[in-house]
Amino acid sequence: MFQGEQLTMGVLADSVSQVIELSADEIEATPPFGTRVKTDYLLGMGALGKKFCLILDIDKVLSADELLAVTESVADERSADDATIDGPAKEAHSEAGA
């Protein structure tokens, strides 16, 4: 639910290389990766032999609040880009017309 309305979302992947099933006891807590990596969107880590996989918290990744924040951020960037592109072009046009 977002602002009182039912919201349906999905995820599109370019490709999938492997699908695995993990039981709850095979999932470990996400270790701290350091200050540069945010783990807010991770549920944990799954062991795959000598390798591991990171498990996304899909409820956080696809939360309406997070998507709204991303949408607003993209809109702000586009507005800034449009202002940068339109600004010099308008100045050049008015100079040419003078």
Q: Nearest-CA neighbor of 28 among 1, 48, 13?
A: 48
Tens of pLDDT, residues 70-92: 677 777 777 777 766 655 554 55
Burial of 67 by CB count in 10 Å (0-12 exposed, 13-18 middle, 19+ buried)? middle
Question: Which residues 6+ apart lie within 8 Å of 94 measured at CB?
Answer: none
When pLDDT is averaged across residues 3-25 and rounded to a whole number, the result is 83
Closest CA to 60 of 48, 73, 69: 69
User: Which ranges constitute the DSSP H helices of the chain?
Assistant: 58-61, 64-97
Render pLDDT for 27-82 as a digit per residue (tens, 0 to 9). Answer: 888 877 776 777 888 889 988 888 888 888 888 877 777 777 767 777 777 777 77
Threshold 0.75, pTM exceeds:
no
